[in-house]
Amino acid sequence: MKFLVTGGAGFIGSAVIRHLIDHTEHELVNVDKLTYAGNLESLTAVSGNPRYVFEHADICDAGAMARIFAEHRPDVVMHLAAESHVDRSIDGPAAFIGTNILGTYTLLEAARHYWQALEGSARDEFRFHHISTDEVYGDLALEGDTLFTETTAYEPSSPYSASKAASDHLVRAWQRTYGLPTLVTNCSNNYGPFHFPEKLVPLMILNALEGKPLPVYGDGSQVRDWLYVEDHARALVTVACEGKVGETYNIGGHNECKNIDVVNTICAILEELAPAKPAGVERYLDLITHVADRPGHDLRYAIDASKIERELGWRPQETFETGIRKTVAWYLANGEWSRRVQDGSYERERLGDTETQGQLQ
Ligand code: NAD
């Protein structure tokens, strides 16, 4: 089959592409605008493969999307392109409304016109798989064991999660109204190699290695369910190939952990794997600095991933302990990648603090 992957130069999209090239025989087209978050360097291991093609394009560009569908004639669309960082959505929501809502709409329309002109098995087997987040469900009480299921009501808190919620509704409406064969997945926090250093895990690893403060929002008690990105990539390809049209699948790592415990774990692994510290640093833990909490910060996310396990046989292979160790080791071995993807416009400063907006911390 031929896959059209949007956002394939990003963190999760690049893991999906590496998975498709390394573990399947499928062909694929990567459609990416290459924003600050898109890095073709994450694909150097696979980009020479004849089954891989890159299209530098914006999903909001209807003409470009129509051309790409007509030229490449995909069997499956996996839609990952998005503005994805909550803190950036607080500082500048416009890009999130543009790409996540209007971009998804534009892509849906291009896919619908292409699909409506298909015939026979090509039409029956076409799939549009939309990749979304558990943040659309809002948050859960810190205490208790409630989990997000596929039927949990939407209650997004941030401009990011509200824009993703809107895109999920559009995808489901295109299925219900036009019959477009869609699938939706909502996943928990991903971590792993090739993660842009603005997100918690890579930010902590890289700051610690340079002896910089490790900024923990509030008291760090927020709970996230951590999913190793390669487990997620495998789940996504399983859903795209075997999922039931019109269905939603929640994907989680069965790894609930407080943010502060994530940071403590990273410090402990670094003590072991990188004992030679920058001058003046006695213990990595001493670099932890509590900073003002994120406005509207969700308390707890936790996914019930039993449906995808029951119906499609997927389970994560990594525990948080094994996955985070692999991740720290990857950043230690790939310092050059981290240096190159930060092009100077982002220097790991605090984003999304409405009190200090625009100031570096
Ligand atoms: P990312 O920010 O690392 O990558 C996004 C990619 O999309 C980049 O390559 C960027 O260049 C591209 N892109 C952005 N705007 C575009 C546009 N207008 N046209 C074409 N390409 C564009 O994101 P990610 O972490 O890989 O997330 C991928 C998807 O998974 C997103 O839809 C996100 O909402 C969802 N998701 C992510 C997480 C997570 O923990 N990272 C969790 C749940 C859901």
How confident is the model over 223-265, as pLDDT tens digits?
999 999 999 999 999 999 999 999 999 999 999 999 999 999 9
- Which letter does DSSP use for residue 293 in this model? P
Identify the segments of the chain with pLDDT beneath 70: 343-348, 350, 354-361
Confidence at residue 361, expressed as pLDDT on a 0 to 100 scale: 28
Contact at 8 Å (CB) between 277 and 284? yes
CA of 70 to the centre of ligand 1 (A): 24
User: What pLDDT is attached to residue 360?
Assistant: 31
pLDDT on residue 343: 67
Run of H or E including 295: none
Ligand 1 binding pocket includes 100 (Cβ within 6 Å):
no
Could you tell me which residues are beta bridge partners of residue 309? Answer: none
DSSP result, 95-138:
HHIIIIIIIHHHHHHHHHHHHHT--HHHHHH-EEEEEEEGGGG-
Q: What is the pLDDT of residue 124?
A: 98
Active site residue ranges? 134-135, 160
Nearest to 133 by CA among 177, 174, 89, 194: 89
Assess contact for 122 and 75: CB atoms under 8 A: yes
Atom of ligand 1 nearest to the CA of 135: 43
Helix axes 259-273, 200-209, angle to 10 degrees: 40
Distance CA 34, CA 81 (A): 10
d(CA 204, CA 225): 18
Q: How far is the CA of 86 from the centre of ligand 1 (A)?
A: 12
Q: Give the pLDDT score at 345.
A: 59
CA distance 131 to 186: 6
The phi and psi torsions of 97 (rounded to 5 degrees) equal -65, -40
Task: Report the C-alpha gap between 315 and 330 in whole angstroms.
Answer: 23
Q: What is the pLDDT of residue 250?
A: 98
Establish whether residue 161 lines the binding site of ligand 1, counting it when its CB lies within 6 angstroms of any ligand atom: no
**Token output for 107:** 């892509």
| Closest alpha carbon to 351 in 68, 85, 143, 73 | 85
Rounded to 5 degrees, what are φ and ψ at 79?
-100, 100
Specify the pTM.
0.95
Q: d(Cα 318, Cα 324) in Å, to the nearest integer?
A: 9
Q: Atom 15 of ligand 1 has which residue's CA nearest to it?
A: 82
- β-partners of residue 249 are 185
Contacts by 14-17, CB closer than 8 A, 24 or more apart: 14/39, 14/42, 14/43, 14/194, 15/192, 15/193, 15/194, 15/229, 15/230, 15/232, 15/233, 16/78, 16/80, 16/233, 16/236, 16/237, 17/43, 17/46, 17/52
Residue 30 near residue 52, CB atoms below 8 Å: yes
Per the CB < 8 A criterion, the answer to whether 159 and 106 are in contact is no
Cβ-in-10-Å burial (0-12, 13-18, 19+) of 322 comes to exposed
Q: Are 245 and 322 in contact (CB under 8 A)?
A: no
For atom 12 of ligand 1, the residue with the nearest CA is 7
Q: Are 17 and 5 in contact (CB under 8 A)?
A: yes
